[in-house]
Amino acid sequence: MNTRIFILSFLLVLAVPLFARDKTDVMVMNNGDRLTCEVKGLDAGVLYVSLDYVDGTVLVDWSKVAHLESKQLFVVKTDEGSVYTGTLKTPETAGARPMMIRVVKTSEQEVDINQSQIVRMIATSDKFWQRFSGEVSFGTIYSKGNQSTQYSLGAQTAYIRERWNVQTSFDSNLSSSTDASVSTRNSLNVRALHLLPWNDWFYSGLGGFLQSSEQGITLQSTLGGGVGRYLKNTDRASISVLAGAAWQETHYDQSIVSQGRQNMAAAIIYTEARLFKFSKTNLNLIAAILPAVSDPGRIRFNTNASYYIKLFSNLKWNISFYGNWDNRPPPGLSGSDYGTSSGLSWTFGLK
């Protein structure tokens, strides 16, 4: 429990500086409405802005914005995989030409991008603490019939720069009931990604730690990496696939497994998919399959999926699914651990 409190407190501390920006940006809509605001970013076809006289973040349909200016720094990503960093302007266009966004790095370095080509804008800063975004979620279920209680805690944060980013996630599940032992599952995952010179290609490093009482795993450490590609990267979906190699060390409950530890070299295929619907829902799915090289025929598979529905402001309701499978577990241990949870999520930054 101390670990959960530490991670939750750490993420809340990160969130504090993210709300200190001045609201001096200018946004003009297609119908002529002009607003002075703070532009937080663009994701999934939604422009996130904050107004002095509105509590919370306002979600704006990106396709209905006619003019945008901001002196803040943004990381701007296009559908073809190009990435730029700079402030934002809207140059004048003749007639009914599509709106262009001018990304200004310096007075000598400017690039004009068609509005429809921009799939993401992430507010960044010269200040380290203002480059983070993420979310914290919590859920609980209680049943009087068998005195069953289940808790779930999740946290995610991302640190994003022009050509690279680092993402971490923590998930914890605990369930107990009358006449049954307490079941726990804790996982911590870290992923670092760097874009390659070719559009939509990247290389990435992966690290993970898992504890599962259901599978008798006291600690499973995974370290791997490889080369990947974005198969789809639009304002409605982002799908990427990575292939590479991994090393996995697993410590089992020594009261059941005499050896206590197993090492495995494996190939890894890692997939991440994000699907969006304007301002209302989004689905995140991560799956990894590890065919063993050092133990041919053995396969491990991990997956996490979350579906979010916006309630209001930065608050969302979510339902999540997790699963781990091993087709050759040690004798006496389960080859699978899976479950679902639901609860509320609070986001900070652009998330």
Residues 7-47 have pLDDT tens digits of 444 444 444 444 446 678 899 998 889 999 888 888 778 88
pLDDT of residue 22: 66
Question: Residue with structure tokens 């089992």?
Answer: 252
Residue 271, pLDDT above cutoff 90: yes
Residue 241, pLDDT above cutoff 80: yes
Tokens of 82: 């190009």
Mean pLDDT to the nearest integer, 188-204? 90
Residues 114-156 have pLDDT tens digits of 888 888 888 775 555 556 677 888 888 766 666 678 888 888 8
Q: Residues of the chain with pLDDT > 70: what percent? A: 84
Residue 274, pLDDT above cutoff 90: no
> What contacts 114, CB < 8 A, 6 or more positions away?
98, 99, 100, 101
Give the DSSP H or E segment for 56.
Answer: none
How far apart, in whole angstroms, are the C-alpha atoms of residue 220 and residue 199? 35
pLDDT of residue 12: 47
Residue 328, pLDDT above cutoff 70: yes
Mean pLDDT to the nearest integer, 44-54? 82
Residue 160, pLDDT above cutoff 80: no
How far apart, in whole angstroms, are the C-alpha atoms of residue 260 and residue 240? 36
Q: How far from 121 is each of 160, 162, 179, 221, 335, CA to CA, in Å?
A: 11, 11, 52, 34, 42
Mean pLDDT to the nearest integer, 185-208? 91
Q: What are phi and psi of 62, to 5 degrees?
A: -60, -35
Give the DSSP H or E segment for 315.
Answer: strand 315-326
pLDDT band at 323 (very low <50, low <70, confident <90, very high): very high
> What contacts 142, CB < 8 A, 6 or more positions away?
148, 149, 150
pLDDT of residue 134: 78
Of 234, 226, 162, the closest CA to residue 191 belongs to 226
pLDDT of residue 207: 95
Residue 105, pLDDT above cutoff 80: no
Mean pLDDT to the nearest integer, 255-277? 86
> What contacts 211, CB < 8 A, 6 or more positions away?
184, 185, 186, 187, 217, 218, 219, 220
Mean pLDDT to the nearest integer, 186-204? 91
pTM to 2 decimal places: 0.71
pLDDT of residue 349: 62
Under a CB-based contact definition with an 8 Å cutoff, are residues 302 and 282 in contact? no
pLDDT-wise least confident of 4-13, 191-200, 224-233: 4-13
